[in-house]
Amino acid sequence: MVHLSQIPKDQELGTLPEAVKKIRLQLSNYDDTFTTSVYGSKFAAEDLPKHEMPEGEMPKEVAYRMIKDELSLDGNPMLNLASFVTTYMEEEAEKLMTESFSKNFIDYEEYPQSADIQNRCVSMIGRLFNAPTSDGENAAAVGTSCVGSSEAIMLAVLAMKKRWKNKRLAAGKSADRPNIVMSSAVQVCWEKATRYFEVEEKLVYCTPERFVIDPVQTVDLVDENTIGICVILGTTYTGEYEDVKAVNDLLVERDIDCPIHVDAASGGFVAPFVVPDLEWDFRCEKVVSINVSGHKVNESWARILKKVKLRLSTAEYLPQELVFNINYLGADQSSFTLNFSKGASQVIGQYYQLIRLGKKGYRAIMSNLTLMSKMSGEGLPLVAFRLPNRGDRHYDEFALAHRLRARGWVVPAYTMAPHTDNLKMLRVVVREDFTKNRCDALLCDIKLCQGMLEKMDRDSIKAQEDYIREHTVNSADAKHNHPRFRKERHSIQGIHGKTHAIC
C-alpha cells in the first residue's frame, strides 16, 4: 500500500501500460442488426432514412423509439393554448378508438354497428341544434359524419351552389356567376371552398372595433347570384359569435330567398349548453345547414365528427344529384361525402363522449371553461388579448409569443383579419384541461417574459425577431414548399397579411 505517492517524471506521463498497448480496437461489425439495446444498435449512429425508402428493414423497437424521440421536439399539445383541438380524452375513449382503427367506416355492410352509431350521433346532435324532425319524405333534416369541418363546409357550399343553380336555370336565368357572402375572418377552408368550386367571395370586412360581421352589411351584399351566407358561431380570432338571428330576421323582413350556413365548428358544442336561449341554429328559419367539429374545444380527439345538416325539404336544400347511392354488398347506401374511406374510430369516439357526458356533463365542463374565460358566454371560451397601446414599448405580441415558447407555452400571435389596422393579438383557448392552476402558471410566465422583454434593448429584440422570422416561422420561404407555391398572393392572407389562426 502506497500512501505517499511519488511525483512522476515527464517521460513517464502519457505512456500507456504495455498491456493496454496490445489491445485491439474491436468495434461491432454490425452483421447482426439488433441484439443489443435500441441506442446500442447501428441505427442510433446513422441518419434516419428521409428521402429514399431504405433497402433493409429495421427492428420495430428501434423504429418506434427513433420516431418517438424525434417527435419529442414537437410542442407539447397540452401547453398549446392556441389550439381549439382537444388534447384530453378519457382512457376508455382512447381505448375504444384504438380498437376500431382497423374498421373502414364506409363498409356499412361489414360494420353495421358503426354505421348505426353514426346515425345515433346524427340524431342526438340534430336534436341539440333543433333540427326539424317532422316526418314525410321531404321534411326531416339529414346529417352525415365528415373528416372535418372543412369537408362539411365544402359539402354545404356544393349543396348551396347546386340548389341556386337549379333554381336559376328553372327560371331561365344564367347561372355562371355564383357568389357567397361571408366574413373576412373566415377560416381558410371557406376560401378553399369558394376557390375550388368557383364561387365568388363577397367579404364583410371587420373593423378595428368589430371583429364579427355586421348583419345589415351582410344582407346588403346579397344579390340574385348569392348562393348563401356563412355566419360563424365562434370566430377563430376572438371566439365571438356572429349574430345569426339578426341576419335571419333581416332576410325574413326583406323577403330574400337566401339560405344561411352556420359554421359552428367550435361553438356548436358550447352554445347549446351555456347559452341555450341563443337562437343561432335551426330555430332560425333561414338556417339550412350547420357544421360542427367534434374535435374542437372539448369534444373528443382529433377530427371526430362534423355534420352537415340540411333542413326542411331535403329535396330542395340537398339536391338529389349530389347524393350517391352506393350498392355495397347488396344494400343501397346513400352517401354525401368528398372521400370514400375513413376510419370508424372518430365516430365511435364521438358517441362515447355524447353518452358518457350527457347534457349535464357537457354543461359542467363548458361552465368551468366559461368561468375561466369570459363570464358572459357571448363567445367561445377563449381569451384573445393584446398589449396595451404604449408608444415606448419596444416589443410586440410576436416577441412575447416567442418568449413564452421558450417556457414551453404555445400562444402564437396573429395579425387580425383585414381592415383592422394590422391589429396583432394573442389567443388562449380555454380547453377542458386548462385548470385554474395551469392558468396561474401561465399568468406568472407572461409576467416573467414581459419583465425580461422590458429589460432587453430594442436592437436585440429586433435581431431575435428577425432571426426567428427568417429561420423558423416564415413558412412561405420554407424549404419544403415548392418554389412555385411560395408566397401566394390570392388568399386573404396573401393579399392583406391576415394570418390564419391555428385551429
Ligand X SMILES: *Cc1c(COP(=O)(O)O)cnc(C)c1O
8 A C-beta contact, residue 84 and residue 236: yes
Among the listed ranges 36-44, 144-152, 271-279, 327-335, the one in contact with ligand X (CB under 6 A) is 144-152
Which listed range, 73-81, 104-112, 145-153, 381-389, lies at the site for ligand X (CB under 6 A)? Answer: 145-153
* 263 near ligand X, judged by CB under 6 A: yes
Instruction: Assess 149 for contact with ligand X (CB under 6 A).
Output: yes
Q: Does 150 bind ligand X (CB under 6 A)?
A: yes
**117 in Cβ contact with 299 (< 8 Å):** no
Among 83, 145, 226, 236, binds ligand X (CB under 6 A): 236
**Smaller CB distance to ligand X: residue 84 or 398?**
84
Query: Binding string to ligand X for residues 280 to 299, with x set by CB under 6 A, is what?
Result: -------------x--x---
**Comparison of 294 and 418: residue with beta carbon closer to ligand X:** 294
Select from 33-41, 261-269, 345-353, 385-393 the region that touches ligand X (CB under 6 A).
261-269
CA distance 433 to 453: 29
240 touches ligand X (CB under 6 A): no
Residue appearing with cell numbers 369537408:
151
Q: For helices 345-372 and 91-99, what crossing angle results, to 10°?
A: 160
Report the residue number, 149 or 194, with the smaller CB distance to ligand X: 149
Quick one: which of 126, 143, 148, 379 contacts ligand X (CB under 6 A)? Answer: 148
Binding residue (CB under 6 A) for ligand X from 266, 337, 373, 420: 266
**Site pattern 45..84 for ligand X (x: CB under 6 A):** ---------------------------------------x
Q: How many CB atoms lie within 10 A of CB 302?
A: 17
Binding residue for ligand X, selected from 265, 305, 312, 318, defined by CB under 6 A: 265
**Position 232 contacts ligand X (CB under 6 A):** yes
Counting Cα atoms < 13 Å in the Cβ hemisphere of 89 gives 28
- Asked if residue 417 binds ligand X (CB under 6 A), the reply is no
Mark the segment that binds ligand X (CB under 6 A) among 260-268, 273-281, 412-420, 450-458: 260-268
Interface of this chain with ligand X, residues 311 to 370, rule: CB under 6 A: none
Angle, CA of 416, 266 and 71, to the nearest 5° = 80
Give 161 or 306: the residue with its C-beta nearer to ligand X: 306
Residue whose CB is less far from ligand X, 191 or 400: 191
Angle at 150 between CA 149 and CA 156, to 5 degrees: 85
Do 185 and 232 form a contact (C-beta atoms < 8 A)? yes
Residue 360 C-beta: closest distance to ligand X, Å: 26
Cβ proximity to ligand X, 163 vs 427, nearer residue: 427
For ligand X, give the closer residue by CB, 232 or 410.
232
Distance CA 211, CA 384 (A): 11
Build a one-symbol-per-residue string for 182-221: x at contacts with ligand X by CB under 6 A, - elsewhere.
Answer: -----x-x--------------------------------
Distances (CA, A) of 143 to 117, 289, 305: 13, 9, 11
Minimum CB separation of residue 427 from ligand X in Å reads: 12
Among 121, 142, 204, 503, binds ligand X (CB under 6 A): 503
Per the structure block, which three cell numbers stand in for 229? 351566407
Closer to ligand X by CB, 58 or 232: give it. Answer: 232
Which residue intervals of 259-344 are DSSP H helices? 271-274, 314-317
Complex with ligand X: residue 309 or 402, whichever CB lies closer: 309
Nearest to 83 by CA among 412, 365, 375: 412
Q: What is the dihedral of CA 254, 259, 264, 267, to 10 degrees?
A: 20
| DSSP assignments along 349-404, one per residue | HHHHHHHHHHHHHHHHHHHHHHHHS-TT-SB-SEEEE-----TT----HHHHHHHH
Is the CB of 142 or the CB of 182 nearer to ligand X? 182
For ligand X, the closer of residues 400 and 430 by Cβ is: 430
Question: Nearest distance from residue 305's CB to ligand X, in Å?
Answer: 10
Is 397 among the residues that bind ligand X (CB under 6 A)?
A: no
- By C-alpha distance, which of 237, 251, 248 is closest to 429? 237
Count CB atoms within 10 A of the CB of residue 483: 8
Contacts of 259 (CB under 8 A, 6+ apart): 160, 163, 227, 228, 229, 286, 287, 288, 289, 317
Residue indicated by cell numbers 506521463: 13
Q: Which three cell numbers stand for residue 419?
A: 381592415
Q: Give how many residues touch ligand X by CB under 6 A.
A: 16
Confirm if 419 and 207 have CB atoms less than 8 A apart. Answer: yes
Residues that bind ligand X (CB under 6 A): 84, 148-150, 187, 189, 232, 236, 263, 265-266, 293, 296, 303, 306, 503
